[in-house]
Structure 1
């Protein structure tokens, strides 16, 4: 078999490969040069299969990079998104390995960024952040390394939230406020020790 024509596609950086006068497959131009494809080159079926396999893997890598261009993702999140699109496990693993190799995904850095955002933007507590990181597929070892929240700072954030929230409970008695405010802070992910300390503070101010 022989390559008889190579024509550019309308899409950038892609070409159509013709073998023995008939269209054979489309190809990323980078792979064309990698496999040294040119008009007149003799090719075997095994060689063609290898090139087509590389093209399929390249498509998955490009899809992974496209997904990452919209938002940072953990390894698990990226895997799930690619699997949902119907790609094979081997192709997905190779695409993820490529992304990890070149720094497009890094669960350690992702977790640190996630923690910063959750604290700054959503005022979540450490328990909620830990749970959310686990749901994102971040391993316990990574979480333990990066989730180092100062308890005093966490208390101050919880206290700030409580002082704002308690305004909506002005018609409730002390017991109801304790229950509602405690539930609110717990749902935000603050540890029991922080919640009880905050409740003592704000309820003490009410009594004062």
Structure 2
């Protein structure tokens, strides 16, 4: 079937049902409601099949954006060293409502976020104490570390204080 041609409904018995596809998707990892909708549509299921599958998932409490957002934040913050800004972007991309995103992000302990950022910056600092005595090298290290933490989604105030502390600790 060419890319320009619309997909046929799979309800003809020629393939797995939308319910089966949804369960397989959930077997890999939890999904947001919009993610599930988009994935089922992409697999060629009709709007009616997708809607009835989502209703059935709701009935069985197998899809819950609030639980998904909380688990996503916990997991990505702890294991991928993601900051609040990155987590907010990721959840919005997955179609989670802003109020749920804010609620999930509020579960991040600011001190834990700072500790994770510190560990990441310390790991990425490639200069030793002697090299850091040169102001040009310190500036270069600051820029590199700030950029690395910024790309991970840490807020500017955390970035500034953590990078200063990491460089000061390495110099000491």
Q: TM-score range by the shorter chain?
A: 0.7 to 0.9
1:199 is matched with: 163
In structure 2, the gaps of 5 or more residues are 1-10
| Contact 2:142–2:164 (CA under 8 A) maintained in structure 1 | no
Instruction: Map 1:121-136 onto structure 2 (within 5 A).
Output: 121-136=79-94
Q: 1:83 to 1:199 in 2, by over 3 A?
A: same
1:205 is displaced (CA, Å) by 2.6
The whole-number CA distance in structure 1 between the counterparts of 2:115 and 2:27 is: 35
The whole-number CA distance in structure 2 between the counterparts of 1:185 and 1:70 is: 29
The whole-number CA distance in structure 2 between the counterparts of 1:143 and 1:103 is: 20
2:73 is matched with: 115
1:185 is matched with: 149
* Structure showing greater relative contact order (alpha-carbon pairs closer than 8 Å, 6 or more residues apart): 2
Q: 1:199 to 1:70 in 2, by over 3 A?
A: closer
1:164 is displaced (CA, Å) by 1.2
Q: 1:195 to 1:72 in 2, by over 3 A?
A: same
1:89 is matched with: 47
2:120 is matched with: 161
The whole-number CA distance in structure 1 between the counterparts of 2:171 and 2:73 is: 35
Deviates more, 1:103-112 or 1:146-155: 146-155
2:109 is matched with: 150
Tell which structure's C-alpha radius of gyration is larger.
1
Deviates more, 1:155-164 or 1:170-179: 170-179
Please list every run of at least 4 consecutive aligned residues from structure 1 whose deviation after the TM superposition is greater than 3 angstroms: 169-172
2:8 is matched with: none
1:137 is displaced (CA, Å) by 1.2
- The alignment yields a C-alpha RMSD, in angstroms, of 2.2
Q: Which has the higher strand share?
A: 1
1:207 is displaced (CA, Å) by 4.2
> SS where residue 17 of structure 2 aligns?
helix
The whole-number CA distance in structure 1 between the counterparts of 2:139 and 2:61 is: 52
| Contact 2:34–2:94 (CA under 8 A) maintained in structure 1 | yes
In structure 1, the gaps of 5 or more residues are 1-52
